[in-house]
């Protein structure tokens, strides 16, 4: 019985150990089952991660290719930009050169215009002065002519001399008006040339007619007075033209004196008519006495 109890105890112990081992195995099996599930989940996660990684790699490759394309475009654009910048630099350099040349040409043009205007103005002034000097010379020649005994044969009536007043006064008025314009504006030189020449011409005609009128005088005193008045008139006219060449403001008095001198000569000429009438009456009386 003791052996049986011993055997029973040993068997019971073995049974308990077997149960424990069985429980441990079941627990291990459970753990293994759980581990397998976890491994499968991990495997799925790994597979999913690999799939996502593949997608990321594909996206990366795509982005990399796009970046390479963009880099190529950037390189091309930079190359084109460099070329454009070079061209722009060349154009800017050319523009600067052109601007400098334009400024030089503009300056030269302005200088040329200024010099051309000076030359033109000088030429106009010289032409005007020469023309007025020619008019002076006409009056000087006329002054010499009226003192020449060779014209003593020329005669003119006081009445005809009177008709010369209007043309010469018209020439004087025209000269005075154009002179005022000429003093204010150089471009009126054409008018002053024409009017000064007309003045010299009309006044010379008047002087010659006045001297011819004096040649009809029976009284040499009247002849001398008219001749002297003509010389004074010629000198005043010459002085007037000289003042005009100087652009003097003191010409108004000379214009008036010239007109007054013309009137004075007309008065002397009309005196010849009265004197001639007196001589004729005296001649008639003498003739009557002789009869």
Q: Where are the domains of the chain?
A: 126-275
- pLDDT at residue 274, as a whole number: 60
More confident residue, 187 or 234: 234
Q: How many Cβ atoms from other residues are within 10 Å of residue 184's Cβ? A: 8
Cα–Cα distance for residue pair 134/45, rounded to 1 Å:
124
Q: What is the pLDDT at residue 283? A: 43
CA distance 216 to 218: 6
Average pLDDT over residues 192-215: 96
pLDDT band per the 50, 70, 90 thresholds, residue 23 = confident
Q: How many percent of the chain have pLDDT more than 70? A: 89
What's residue 236's pLDDT? 97
Q: Is the pLDDT of residue 291 over 60?
A: no
Q: What is the DSSP string of 195-230?
A: HHHHHHHHHHHHHHHHHHHHTT-SSHHHHHHHHHHH
Question: Which of the pair, 78 or 197, is modelled with greater confidence?
Answer: 197
Question: In this predicted model, what pLDDT tens digit does every residue of 277-286 receive, in sequence order?
Answer: 444 443 443 3
pLDDT for 204 equals: 97
Q: Which residue has the higher pLDDT, 139 or 288?
A: 139
Residue 165 pLDDT exceeds 50: yes
Q: Which fold has domain 126-275?
A: A middle domain of Talin 1 (1.20.1420)
Residue 207 clears pLDDT 50, i.e. is over it: yes
Tell me the mean pLDDT in the region 241-264.
94
With cut-offs at 50, 70 and 90, classify the pLDDT of residue 14: confident
Lowest mean pLDDT among 33-47, 110-124, 272-286: 272-286
**pLDDT over threshold 50, residue 37:** yes
| Residue-averaged pLDDT of the chain | 85
> Contact at 8 Å (CB) between 214 and 227?
yes
Tokens at 229, concatenated: 């008045």
120-124, 189-193, 245-249: lowest mean pLDDT where? 120-124
How many Å apart are CA 207 and CA 266, to the nearest integer?
A: 11
At 3 the pLDDT is 67
Looking at per-residue pLDDT, the higher value among 49 and 183 belongs to 183
59-95 residue pLDDT tens: 778 878 877 887 888 788 888 888 888 888 888 989 9
CA dihedral 229→232→237→241, nearest 10 degrees, is 180
Out of 3-12, 52-61, 116-125, 150-159, least confident range: 3-12
Do 233 and 207 contact (CB within 8 A), yes or no? yes
């Amino acid at each position: 019985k003791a052996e049986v109890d011993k055997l029973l105890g040993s068997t019971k112990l073995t049974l308990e150990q077997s149960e424990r081992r069985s429980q441990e195995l079941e627990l291990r099996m459970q753990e293994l089952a759980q581990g397998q599930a976890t491994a499968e989940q991990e495997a799925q996660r790994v597979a999913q991660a690999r799939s996502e990684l593949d997608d990321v790699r594909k996206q990366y490759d795509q982005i990399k290719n796009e970046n390479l394309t963009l880099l190529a475009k950037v390189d091309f654009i930079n190359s084109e930009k460099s070329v454009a910048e070079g061209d722009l630099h060349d154009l800017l350099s050319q523009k600067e050169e052109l601007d400098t040349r334009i400024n030089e040409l503009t300056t030269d043009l302005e200088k040329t215009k200024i010099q051309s205007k000076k030359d033109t103005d000088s030429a106009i002034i010289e032409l005007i002065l020469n023309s007025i000097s020619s008019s002076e010379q006409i009056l000087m020649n006329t002054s010499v002519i009226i003192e020449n005994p060779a014209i003593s044969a020329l005669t003119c009536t006081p009445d005809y001399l009177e008709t010369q007043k209007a043309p010469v006064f018209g020439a004087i008025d025209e000269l005075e008006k154009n002179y005022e314009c000429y003093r204010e504006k150089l471009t009126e030189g054409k008018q002053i040339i024409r009017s000064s020449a007309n003045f010299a011409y009309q006044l010379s005609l008047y002087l010659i007619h006045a001297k011819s009128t004096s040649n009809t005088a029976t009284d040499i005193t009247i002849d001398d007075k008219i001749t002297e008045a003509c010389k004074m008139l010629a000198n005043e006219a010459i002085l007037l033209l000289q003042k005009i060449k100087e652009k003097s403001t003191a010409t108004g008095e000379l214009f008036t004196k010239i007109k007054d001198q013309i009137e004075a000569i007309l008065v002397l000429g009309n005196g010849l008519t009265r004197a001639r009438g007196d001589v004729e009456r005296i001649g008639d009386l003498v003739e009557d006495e002789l009869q």
